[in-house]
Amino acid sequence: MLKKIIISLLILICVFLCGCTTPLPEKTGSIAITSSPSGAEVYFDKEYHGTTPGTINAVAAGNHSVEIRKNGYITWFQNITVISGTTVSLSPVLMPSADTIPPLVPTFTPSVTKKTAPEIHVDGFWTYPAVRSYSNPVSLLVHAEGDNVGTADARIVTSSANMYYNDQQLCWVKIYFGTIKAGGHATTDTMMYCSLPAGADDHDFVIKFENVVVTP
Protein backbone atom coordinates (compact mmCIF):
# COMPACT_ATOMS: atom_id res chain seq x y z
CA MET A 1 0.00 0.00 0.00
CA LEU A 2 2.77 2.49 0.90
CA LYS A 3 4.56 1.54 -2.28
CA LYS A 4 1.52 2.50 -4.42
CA ILE A 5 1.20 5.83 -2.66
CA ILE A 6 4.88 6.62 -3.29
CA ILE A 7 4.53 5.73 -7.00
CA SER A 8 1.44 7.94 -7.35
CA LEU A 9 3.27 10.88 -5.76
CA LEU A 10 6.22 10.42 -8.10
CA ILE A 11 3.86 10.44 -11.11
CA LEU A 12 2.20 13.67 -9.91
CA ILE A 13 5.57 15.32 -9.36
CA CYS A 14 6.69 14.40 -12.89
CA VAL A 15 3.49 15.78 -14.42
CA PHE A 16 3.86 18.99 -12.45
CA LEU A 17 7.48 19.42 -13.45
CA CYS A 18 6.70 18.81 -17.13
CA GLY A 19 4.03 21.48 -17.04
CA CYS A 20 6.33 24.06 -15.47
CA THR A 21 9.06 23.60 -18.07
CA THR A 22 6.77 24.44 -21.06
CA PRO A 23 8.21 27.69 -22.62
CA LEU A 24 6.00 30.82 -22.64
CA PRO A 25 5.02 32.17 -26.09
CA GLU A 26 7.53 34.80 -27.39
CA LYS A 27 6.31 38.43 -27.76
CA THR A 28 6.65 39.54 -31.41
CA GLY A 29 5.77 42.32 -33.85
CA SER A 30 6.33 42.99 -37.56
CA ILE A 31 8.11 45.45 -39.90
CA ALA A 32 6.52 46.73 -43.13
CA ILE A 33 9.07 48.19 -45.54
CA THR A 34 8.63 50.14 -48.77
CA SER A 35 11.24 52.25 -50.56
CA SER A 36 11.56 54.77 -53.33
CA PRO A 37 12.67 53.44 -55.73
CA SER A 38 11.32 49.97 -55.00
CA GLY A 39 13.22 46.72 -55.56
CA ALA A 40 15.88 47.52 -52.97
CA GLU A 41 17.48 44.75 -50.90
CA VAL A 42 16.45 44.49 -47.23
CA TYR A 43 18.92 43.43 -44.55
CA PHE A 44 17.37 42.85 -41.13
CA ASP A 45 19.91 42.48 -38.33
CA LYS A 46 22.50 42.03 -41.12
CA GLU A 47 20.58 39.11 -42.71
CA TYR A 48 19.02 39.31 -46.17
CA HIS A 49 15.20 39.44 -46.15
CA GLY A 50 14.19 39.94 -49.78
CA THR A 51 13.43 43.18 -51.59
CA THR A 52 11.04 46.10 -51.14
CA PRO A 53 8.13 46.29 -50.75
CA GLY A 54 7.75 43.59 -48.13
CA THR A 55 6.90 42.70 -44.52
CA ILE A 56 9.01 40.88 -41.96
CA ASN A 57 6.77 38.98 -39.53
CA ALA A 58 7.35 37.33 -36.14
CA VAL A 59 10.05 39.84 -35.17
CA ALA A 60 11.05 39.54 -31.54
CA ALA A 61 10.17 42.63 -29.54
CA GLY A 62 13.22 44.81 -28.87
CA ASN A 63 15.94 46.69 -30.73
CA HIS A 64 16.93 45.74 -34.27
CA SER A 65 18.69 47.20 -37.31
CA VAL A 66 17.38 47.60 -40.87
CA GLU A 67 19.55 48.30 -43.91
CA ILE A 68 18.27 49.06 -47.43
CA ARG A 69 20.64 48.64 -50.38
CA LYS A 70 20.27 49.30 -54.11
CA ASN A 71 22.89 49.72 -56.82
CA GLY A 72 23.44 53.37 -57.71
CA TYR A 73 21.99 54.63 -54.40
CA ILE A 74 23.39 55.47 -50.99
CA THR A 75 22.75 52.67 -48.47
CA TRP A 76 19.99 53.55 -45.98
CA PHE A 77 20.39 52.39 -42.37
CA GLN A 78 18.30 52.80 -39.22
CA ASN A 79 18.03 51.28 -35.73
CA ILE A 80 14.43 50.51 -34.76
CA THR A 81 12.51 49.27 -31.73
CA VAL A 82 9.79 46.65 -32.26
CA ILE A 83 6.93 46.60 -29.72
CA SER A 84 4.95 43.42 -29.20
CA GLY A 85 1.75 43.27 -31.23
CA THR A 86 2.58 46.31 -33.42
CA THR A 87 3.93 46.92 -36.92
CA VAL A 88 6.81 49.31 -37.61
CA SER A 89 6.43 51.03 -41.00
CA LEU A 90 9.53 52.19 -42.86
CA SER A 91 9.41 54.15 -46.15
CA PRO A 92 12.93 55.43 -46.94
CA VAL A 93 13.65 57.56 -50.01
CA LEU A 94 16.99 56.45 -51.41
CA MET A 95 19.41 59.13 -52.59
CA PRO A 96 21.48 58.58 -55.76
CA SER A 97 25.14 58.04 -55.08
CA ALA A 98 27.58 60.71 -56.29
CA ASP A 99 28.98 58.58 -59.11
CA THR A 100 25.52 58.16 -60.66
CA ILE A 101 24.51 61.82 -60.70
CA PRO A 102 25.07 63.22 -64.21
CA PRO A 103 27.35 66.24 -64.34
CA LEU A 104 25.71 69.61 -64.77
CA VAL A 105 25.77 70.78 -68.36
CA PRO A 106 26.03 74.56 -68.60
CA THR A 107 23.11 76.11 -70.40
CA PHE A 108 24.24 77.63 -73.66
CA THR A 109 22.83 81.06 -74.30
CA PRO A 110 23.36 82.07 -77.90
CA SER A 111 24.72 85.52 -78.36
CA VAL A 112 22.21 87.93 -79.78
CA THR A 113 23.50 90.34 -82.36
CA LYS A 114 22.21 93.77 -81.58
CA LYS A 115 20.20 95.09 -84.47
CA THR A 116 21.49 98.32 -85.90
CA ALA A 117 19.01 101.18 -85.69
CA PRO A 118 19.04 104.98 -85.69
CA GLU A 119 18.38 106.81 -82.42
CA ILE A 120 17.60 110.51 -82.66
CA HIS A 121 17.80 113.14 -79.93
CA VAL A 122 16.31 116.58 -80.71
CA ASP A 123 16.82 119.80 -78.78
CA GLY A 124 16.93 123.53 -79.46
CA PHE A 125 15.53 126.93 -78.56
CA TRP A 126 13.35 129.78 -79.84
CA THR A 127 14.17 133.43 -80.32
CA TYR A 128 12.88 136.54 -82.10
CA PRO A 129 14.18 137.17 -85.60
CA ALA A 130 16.59 140.06 -86.24
CA VAL A 131 13.68 142.32 -87.23
CA ARG A 132 11.04 141.80 -84.59
CA SER A 133 7.34 142.28 -85.35
CA TYR A 134 5.09 143.43 -82.51
CA SER A 135 1.84 142.38 -84.15
CA ASN A 136 0.01 139.17 -83.24
CA PRO A 137 0.63 136.49 -84.36
CA VAL A 138 4.33 137.04 -83.67
CA SER A 139 6.99 135.56 -85.93
CA LEU A 140 9.53 133.44 -83.98
CA LEU A 141 12.73 131.74 -85.06
CA VAL A 142 13.07 128.12 -83.94
CA HIS A 143 16.60 126.69 -83.88
CA ALA A 144 16.67 122.86 -83.69
CA GLU A 145 19.53 120.38 -83.45
CA GLY A 146 19.31 116.64 -84.07
CA ASP A 147 21.86 113.99 -83.05
CA ASN A 148 21.86 110.39 -84.26
CA VAL A 149 23.42 108.37 -81.43
CA GLY A 150 22.29 105.06 -82.95
CA THR A 151 24.15 102.58 -85.15
CA ALA A 152 22.32 103.12 -88.45
CA ASP A 153 21.60 106.06 -90.71
CA ALA A 154 18.27 107.87 -90.44
CA ARG A 155 17.12 108.68 -93.95
CA ILE A 156 14.43 111.21 -92.95
CA VAL A 157 14.01 112.84 -89.54
CA THR A 158 11.14 115.15 -88.63
CA SER A 159 9.91 116.61 -85.37
CA SER A 160 7.41 119.14 -84.09
CA ALA A 161 8.37 122.27 -82.14
CA ASN A 162 5.55 123.03 -79.69
CA MET A 163 5.32 126.37 -77.84
CA TYR A 164 3.73 126.26 -74.36
CA TYR A 165 2.58 128.95 -71.97
CA ASN A 166 1.53 127.90 -68.46
CA ASP A 167 1.43 124.28 -69.72
CA GLN A 168 -0.98 125.22 -72.52
CA GLN A 169 0.10 124.75 -76.12
CA LEU A 170 -0.09 127.99 -78.12
CA CYS A 171 1.31 126.96 -81.50
CA TRP A 172 3.58 124.49 -83.25
CA VAL A 173 5.63 124.02 -86.40
CA LYS A 174 7.07 120.99 -88.16
CA ILE A 175 10.88 120.65 -88.15
CA TYR A 176 12.56 118.87 -91.04
CA PHE A 177 16.15 117.60 -90.64
CA GLY A 178 16.50 115.37 -93.66
CA THR A 179 19.16 112.64 -93.42
CA ILE A 180 21.23 112.18 -90.26
CA LYS A 181 23.87 109.48 -90.53
CA ALA A 182 24.84 107.25 -87.64
CA GLY A 183 26.83 109.36 -85.21
CA GLY A 184 25.91 112.45 -87.20
CA HIS A 185 24.54 115.87 -86.29
CA ALA A 186 22.16 118.23 -88.06
CA THR A 187 20.81 121.74 -87.42
CA THR A 188 17.96 123.70 -88.92
CA ASP A 189 16.22 127.04 -88.43
CA THR A 190 12.48 127.34 -89.00
CA MET A 191 10.07 130.27 -88.72
CA MET A 192 7.01 129.80 -86.52
CA TYR A 193 4.02 132.19 -86.18
CA CYS A 194 2.39 132.24 -82.78
CA SER A 195 -0.30 134.31 -81.05
CA LEU A 196 1.23 135.26 -77.68
CA PRO A 197 -0.81 136.39 -74.66
CA ALA A 198 -0.66 140.13 -74.06
CA GLY A 199 1.66 141.14 -71.24
CA ALA A 200 3.23 137.70 -70.92
CA ASP A 201 6.90 137.53 -70.02
CA ASP A 202 9.17 135.92 -72.59
CA HIS A 203 10.59 133.61 -69.88
CA ASP A 204 7.16 132.06 -69.42
CA PHE A 205 7.23 130.56 -72.91
CA VAL A 206 8.65 127.03 -73.22
CA ILE A 207 9.40 125.21 -76.46
CA LYS A 208 9.42 121.43 -76.61
CA PHE A 209 10.55 119.19 -79.45
CA GLU A 210 8.11 116.33 -79.64
CA ASN A 211 6.71 113.73 -82.06
CA VAL A 212 10.09 112.77 -83.52
CA VAL A 213 9.60 110.58 -86.58
CA VAL A 214 12.54 108.59 -88.01
CA THR A 215 12.56 106.82 -91.37
CA PRO A 216 15.58 104.48 -91.49
Give pLDDT tens digits for 27-46: 899 999 999 999 999 999 99
DSSP string covering 36-100? BSS--EEEETTEEEEESSEEEEEEESEEEEEEEE-TTBPPEEEEEEE-TT-EEEE--BPPBPGGG
| CATH hierarchy code of domain 120-215 | 2.60.40.10
CA 22 to chain centre: 69
Give pLDDT tens digits for 138-196: 889 999 999 999 899 998 999 999 999 988 998 999 999 999 999 999 999 999 989 88
The answer to whether domain 28-99 and domain 120-215 are alike in fold is yes
CA atoms within 13 A on the CB side of 201: 3
CA–CA dist 188, 179 (Å, integer): 12
pTM over 0.75, yes/no: no
Q: Residue 72 — left, alpha, or beta (φ > 0 → left; ψ -120 to 50 → alpha)? A: left
Superfamily assignment of 28-99 in CATH? Carboxypeptidase-like, regulatory domain (2.60.40.1120)
- What are the domain boundaries of the chain? 28-99, 120-215
